[in-house]
Amino acid sequence: MRLHHLLLAVFATLACTLLASALEFQPIGFEAIGMGGAGVACAKGSMAGYYNPALLAHSRYTTEVNLSLGAGLKEYNLLDSANKLSKLDMSSFNNMSNTNFDFSTGKFGTFTAADRSNIVSIQGIWNSLGSNNGIDISPAVALGVQVLNVGVGIYTTGDATAVAHINPNQNQLIFKQDNVADIAGTGKTGTVYFQYNPVTDKYTYNAFDASGASMGDLGAQFSGLPGAQQSFLTNVSYNKNLTPTTYNNTSIEVAINDNNNGGNNNYIAVRGLVLNEIPISYAHAIPIPEKFGTLAVGGSLKLISGITYDQKVSVNTQDSTIQDDLTKNSKTTMTGTIDLGAIYNPPVVKNLSIGVVMKDLTSPKFDYADGGSAPVDPQARMGVDYSLWHDRVDFAADLDLTKNAGLDAHNYQYACVGANFHPASWFSLRAGAMNNLADSTLGPIGTIGLGFGLKWFQLDLAAESSFKTTTVQDSTIPSYAKINLALVSKW
């Protein structure tokens, strides 16, 4: 498994789809990203159509427009393993399975201590992968426009995921040689299976003739060969349990070539689902007695273009094959759905807003090229926002009410908190944190954001970063990180 093959599988998915989408409630836009992802009760401008359309009833400005571009990366137990494999000298591993053993003459090449160390390292890395690994690249583009209590937008969120699925039973250094002529000087042609122990530097074998019958212990025949090496005779022994079934079920050689040979045990699963949403949103204040506070409801009618990718890539696939397969295994679906939201301001606590939003209520589905489908389940999230100092400071919190399944086989249910200090229309400083309650793989995530410039043209920067770290190419990086750049205009 080469590192650049793995990365190419993910980036090729993105290149083919432009962007690919996940099913978690992904923070996009500008303000909410810096506030720990909280926006259901406080995204009152051009991103209200995404977070909660009811907030259009409480817009701060007559018109707000934003264009944002962001990208995130999640990594757990995959890139570092792939990088370590790419750095190791694979020649000893390849020689062992191809030319290092000659069963016709009783000669074989020896391995140095460095060779044996590489072989043990390769086997150890393979064993450590399992299925709890993955890389996930999540770009996002958002164009939002708010005019009074109406909003329109183009929202594209994304995930391109790669997860290595490794059969933990296929980890033995067992190799096969076909069409071996004159095995041990017997004049017979057949197949030889042999197993190597890098700790003891010894081999065991079992040979089968053309009819498939085991040839048994060939020690006497090897001893009678005039060219046989003494080291071969003392380091190679017969093993009756080394059968074709043992080879197929436990060999690391079979595992590495598994998907190329039509197997289904060892492969890299590359998946993508692009969701380009075009919503039209509207909010309306519901007249209720003042003693009960204020209430507004809103909705978004969304047209969605979905492009799916789903491909199993062999761990030793070449670059061109990855690109070709991903192109062939794409499918586009057009559909629509609705979002509904509400925002309530109680009379007893001044400046408190309580919001709830339900997204994708019709459970739209997007077809895969192989005949399957990817459903987008409805999402529900609630949020609160408390403002003070004449609406110059906001404290907000969101909570996913539903557990959302991501393409990377992890579940997502976020709790988000954040604060926004915006003393003037041309400046804002934000900070927050978010945590996935359904899965601890990424750990707590810290966020920060800064907006500045003229009221009618502002630059906004935001970032998210996990406090958990991983190692890639000997460098420590966050297990999850995201950056976002936005241009915002208000008037």
pLDDT for position 286: 95
Query: Above pLDDT 90, what percent of the chain?
Result: 50
Stretch 138-154: mean pLDDT: 96
Q: Which residues contact 370 (CB under 8 A, 6 or more apart)?
A: 310, 329
pLDDT for position 93: 59
Q: Which residues contact 94 (CB under 8 A, 6 or more apart)?
A: none
Q: Is the pLDDT of residue 9 over 60?
A: no
Stretch 424-444: mean pLDDT: 94
Per-residue pLDDT of 342-383, as tens digits, reads 999 999 998 999 999 999 999 999 888 878 787 888 999 999
Residue 409 near residue 28 (C-beta atoms within 8 A): no
Distance CA 59, CA 47 (A): 10
* Kind of pairing between the strands at 202-209 and 236-238: parallel
pLDDT for position 111: 74
Q: Is the pLDDT of residue 309 over 70?
A: yes
CA torsion sign for 21, 25, 29, 34 is negative
The mean pLDDT of the chain is: 85
Distance CA 44, CA 52 (A): 9
Q: Is the pLDDT of residue 307 over 80?
A: yes
Distance CA 168, CA 117 (A): 21
Predicted TM-score (pTM) of this structure? 0.79
Stretch 61-76: mean pLDDT: 93
pLDDT for position 311: 79
CA torsion sign for 215, 205, 169, 6 is negative
Instruction: List, in sequence order, the alpha helices (H) in 177-289.
Output: 219-223, 230-235, 244-250, 252-256
Question: 20: pLDDT confidence band, cut at 50, 70 and 90?
Answer: very low
Q: Is the pLDDT of residue 17 over 60?
A: no
pLDDT for position 386: 97
Listed range (34-48, 148-162, 446-460) with the worst mean pLDDT? 148-162
Q: Radius of gyration (Cα) for the chain, nearest Å?
A: 30
Instruction: List, in sequence order, the alpha helices (H) in 133-280.
Output: 219-223, 230-235, 244-250, 252-256
CA–chain centroid gap for 119, Å, is 29
Stretch 68-90: mean pLDDT: 78
pLDDT for position 91: 57
Stretch 101-130: mean pLDDT: 75
Residue 425 near residue 490 (C-beta atoms within 8 A): yes
Tokens of 180: 């071996």
**Higher model confidence: residue 481 or residue 270?**
481
The residues spanned by each domain of the chain are 3-78+133-166+265-490, 86-128+174-250
Question: 262: pLDDT confidence band, cut at 50, 70 and 90?
Answer: very low
pLDDT for position 115: 79
Question: 270: pLDDT confidence band, cut at 50, 70 and 90?
Answer: confident
Per-residue pLDDT of 194-240, as tens digits, reads 898 888 888 899 999 999 999 999 988 888 777 767 777 788 899 99
pLDDT for position 324: 57
Residue 118 near residue 24 (C-beta atoms within 8 A): no
Tokens of 228: 């046989």
pLDDT for position 276: 93
Residue in this structure with the two tokens 């436990």, named with its chain if needed: 250
Q: What fold characterizes domain 3-78+133-166+265-490?
A: Porin (2.40.160)
Per-residue pLDDT of 92-109, as tens digits, reads 555 555 556 677 777 766
pLDDT for position 340: 98
Stretch 31-55: mean pLDDT: 96
Stretch 398-414: mean pLDDT: 89
Tokens of 95: 């020689």
Stretch 391-401: mean pLDDT: 96
Listed range (4-18, 79-93, 157-171, 399-413) with the worst mean pLDDT? 4-18
pLDDT for position 109: 67
Q: Which of 462, 406, 413, 387 is nearest to 269 (CA)?
A: 406
